[in-house]
Structure 1
Amino acid sequence: MGASNFTDDTLAGGCSAYRDAVEDLKARHGFDFVSIGLTAFIGAPLKWVYSAGATGERHRRIVLAPGHGIGGITIKSGKPMMFVDIDEEIDPREYSSYPIVFAEDLRSFCALPLKKDGRVVAVLLCAYRSVSDRHEESYRRLIEDLDGRLLDFDVVSDDFMDFESIAAEKRADSATNPIFVRSELSRVIAAQEDERKRISRELHDGVAQELLSISFLFNQMAGHLDDVGTGLLGQARNTVDRILDELHNISVELRPSALDHLGFLPALRSQAAVFEKTYGAEIVFEGSLSCDRFDQALETQAYRICQEAILNACKYADTERVFVTLEDADGWLHVSVVDHGRGFNTANPEIKGSGCGLYGMQERANLIGARLTTSSGPGGTTVTLVAPMHVVEGKEASR
């Protein structure tokens, strides 16, 4: 089975065997969740395809680039990972790097690279939703039981990645540099957006264009190489393509061009599509707007507020769907972001991520004279933005 069509061949020929394998491992070892993630070829994204003990379908929508998430990191490094207490071993600000943790509410896991023909093409993830001193022993028994083989895969079970020193350093950094809210945040936000826009433009117009030039040179070299050189050239092209994709993602995160060229709603839809792939939650847009463009300050701040609200719901709410409702009336823009997942104490929220998201959202709302309210409880969370609307002259929609 070639690496280039690995996923297609596996789905067509061995799906029942893989499903039986994850169910068997879950039953024999008492894991809460077991999954096999597959990648189509070296450098391609990974998806969790075969699972046992899943709480829903959310995890199947996660798409992990190499080096991202548990699966992506394991694939890229070729080394196994093990965390027996996620809350203790991972800095809370890094939780978003592991979307499967949110999707399945995991507290302990072991991820083993799976090789075929000497290449890492899949990942076995075994996990618990609780913490116990016995979990590491369970993972060791799993490795002994597998004895280096799972169906038609070779299992990599030595040279585990050492994250303890990294986690300890991050904890020390948190102690010496505690998270705080800057009272001058509202004065910084506008300058921050300008800087984001500048860096985003430089990445797109500078670094990305240079890489494209290199790609064109590769095309010119193709006819002057032997078979070995052609193979190496293909690898170089793939590397450049991955770098270009990463630069694009960074540029969009800094300042999406859609926000400047198309406006608030298209930019928000585009960002929501990225969140769906990253975190697995479906983001449903409801309602409509009577105009395409608004005042630039309103578009920017409303976009950032909604971006943060949707991201928080995807990361922390443990929900399958996030609903975004937009409408405007009588000169006011109304936006709500609703999830029906795990709520939180709005008066004394648990600090996760940078710990500044809710405060930053409120400051942004203050900048545009808007009202921002957040209500949360056992039935979920609702974030509502009501902002004065100023239509850009000549940009009204002809709907």
Structure 2
Amino acid sequence: MHTGKSMTGGFDPAFYESALDAFTANVAVVDATGEILAVNDAWVQFVDFNDLKIANHGVGCNYLNFCDRLGTPGAAAVAAGLRALIAGGDGPFRHEYVMPLDTGSCWVKLSAVRVGHRDQPFLIVTHDDISIQRRAELGLREATARLLHAEDSERRRIARELHDSTAQHLAGAKLMLRRLDAKDPVSTGLVRDEVSGLLSSALDEIRSFAYLLHPPALEHLGLAAAIRQFATGFSRRGDVAVTIDIPDDFPRLSHATEIALYRVVQEALANVHSHSGSQQAVVRLRVAGEMVLLTVRDFGSGLPPRRDSIPGVGLEGMRLRLEFLKGHLSLRNAEPGLALEAWAPLLPEGED
């Protein structure tokens, strides 16, 4: 352990030296004024490895003043939390932030506890490098988002194949049936009518399937028209009255944004039908500054009591789509019912 001036107030550097140096995290002991009194070996190694120009490895400098001088949101949050802890606030204090270094950014998890006498407290401040975990999480999310976008592209291809090829074959077969000619017109007519009915059903099912995979209105008319069209069909199929609140002059957005918000509407209304017990839903779409806000609200049972339960695949898929676009998703009780809010950056058409 590396120390500066002698520490009083019952703190014995020799007694704690081996304990502090046993930590793999970077550890500093800070007094009530914010001055760093001691640091452990891991702290010294971190300073040396990153070639940080800090005199005496920081021992003797004021940690709080250093955070104030940085002027970043992360540093300001750390300084405020440590001051509150010194003043007697509940601990421990924890905060995650990005530390800019010459070798690249480093994700840090800071933890601080107050020790010592009430009239002369000390803080034990630890810094854990969590960059590997955060980069792995970010990589996983980006990979998952790319898979979702690949899924959208494949849906689009299948929808076109169904419409342009399979549906055309069925339509051709239906036309050919009209040319049937046999010795028994009555029997031929019955067969023709039955096959024609089956082909009509197949055509309807394929068109519905292709529409759900990739609605043509989304590509040709935009998000607002596609939501209106989907909501109309959903109300008819699901016995849920859907009210649409979208301005008539709502602009076209980038393809990635439109498909993401459209999938959110699909999943959210499916959840209303399956889980909420509500017979009504409201879909709102607004431009809010440099963001787009989509709200889907029902009037059913609201959020379940256990908020710590694992999110469903549909909800997590919506969240990942939006995070890939630098947006976010939130849920809140609307009393009655549940309100889902999806935020995405306002990117005009063509800016994918």
* 1:370 and 1:388 in contact (8 A); partners too: yes
The normalised TM-score by structure 1 is 0.49
1:307 equivalent to 2:270? Answer: no
Which residue does the alignment assign to 2:155? 196
AA matched with 2:144: L
Change over 3 Å in CA distance of 1:349–1:307 after alignment to 2: farther
Which residue does the alignment assign to 1:259? 218
Which residue does the alignment assign to 2:234? 275
Which residue does the alignment assign to 1:348? 308
Task: Encode CA deviations 1:79-122: one digit per residue, 9 max, x unaligned.
Answer: xxxxxxxxxxxxxxxxxxxxxxxxxxxxxxxxxxxxxxxxxxxx
Write the distance in 2 (CA, Å) between the matches of 1:349 and 1:361. 17
Write the distance in 2 (CA, Å) between the matches of 1:341 and 1:279. 15
Which residue does the alignment assign to 2:173? 214
1:360 equivalent to 2:321? Answer: no
* 1:291 and 1:391 in contact (8 A); partners too: no
Give the deviation of 1:271 after TM superposition. 1.7
Residue 340 of structure 2 aligns to a residue in which SS? strand
Write the distance in 1 (CA, Å) between the matches of 2:182 and 2:174. 14
- Which blocks of at least 5 consecutive residues in structure 1 are unaligned? 1-181, 395-399
Residue 179 of structure 2 aligns to a residue in which SS? helix
Give the deviation of 1:289 after TM superposition. 5.5
Residue 384 of structure 1 aligns to a residue in which SS? strand
Write the distance in 2 (CA, Å) between the matches of 1:227 and 1:265. 50
Give the deviation of 1:376 after TM superposition. 2.9
* 1:222 and 1:233 in contact (8 A); partners too: no
Give the deviation of 1:350 after TM superposition. 7.7
Give the deviation of 1:226 after TM superposition. 0.7
* 1:290 and 1:328 in contact (8 A); partners too: no
The structure 1 segments of at least 4 consecutive aligned residues displaced by more than 4 Å after TM superposition are 222-225
* 1:279 and 1:315 in contact (8 A); partners too: no
Q: Mean alpha-carbon deviation: is it higher for 385-394 or for 228-237?
A: 385-394
Give the deviation of 1:321 after TM superposition. 0.6
* 1:314 and 1:322 in contact (8 A); partners too: no
Which residue does the alignment assign to 2:293? 334
Bigger Rg over Cα: 2
Any residues of structure 2 matched to 1:83-162 within 5 Å, and which? none
* 2:292 and 2:346 in contact (8 A); partners too: yes
Q: Please point out which of 186, 190, 209 is paired with 2:145.
A: 186
Change over 3 Å in CA distance of 1:272–1:349 after alignment to 2: farther
Write the distance in 1 (CA, Å) between the matches of 2:257 and 2:330. 17
Change over 3 Å in CA distance of 1:363–1:289 after alignment to 2: farther
Give the deviation of 1:278 after TM superposition. 2.0
Write the distance in 1 (CA, Å) between the matches of 2:148 and 2:350. 25
AA matched with 2:257: L
* 2:290 and 2:345 in contact (8 A); partners too: yes
Q: CA RMSD in A?
A: 2.3
Change over 3 Å in CA distance of 1:274–1:368 after alignment to 2: same
Which residue does the alignment assign to 2:343? 386
Write the distance in 1 (CA, Å) between the matches of 2:330 and 2:287. 17
Which residue does the alignment assign to 1:34? none
Write the distance in 2 (CA, Å) between the matches of 1:220 and 1:377. 60
* 1:336 and 1:383 in contact (8 A); partners too: yes
Write the distance in 2 (CA, Å) between the matches of 1:348 and 1:265. 34
Change over 3 Å in CA distance of 1:305–1:278 after alignment to 2: same
Write the distance in 2 (CA, Å) between the matches of 1:331 and 1:222. 65
Identical-pair percentage: 26
Task: Encode CA deviations 1:115-135: one digit per residue, 9 max, x unaligned.
Answer: xxxxxxxxxxxxxxxxxxxxx
The normalised TM-score by structure 2 is 0.56
AA matched with 1:348: D
1:205 equivalent to 2:164? Answer: yes
* 2:182 and 2:188 in contact (8 A); partners too: no
Change over 3 Å in CA distance of 1:388–1:223 after alignment to 2: farther
Give the deviation of 1:316 after TM superposition. 1.2
Which residue does the alignment assign to 2:190? 231
Residue 385 of structure 1 aligns to a residue in which SS? strand
AA matched with 2:339: T
- Which blocks of at least 5 consecutive residues in structure 2 are unaligned? 1-139
* 2:224 and 2:250 in contact (8 A); partners too: no
Give the deviation of 1:224 after TM superposition. 7.4
Residue 190 of structure 1 aligns to a residue in which SS? helix
Q: Please point out which of 262, 281, 297 is paired with 1:322.
A: 281
* Larger relative contact order (Cα-Cα within 8 Å, sequence gap ≥ 6): 1
Give the deviation of 1:371 after TM superposition. 2.3
Residue 285 of structure 1 aligns to a residue in which SS? strand
Give the deviation of 1:377 after TM superposition. 6.7
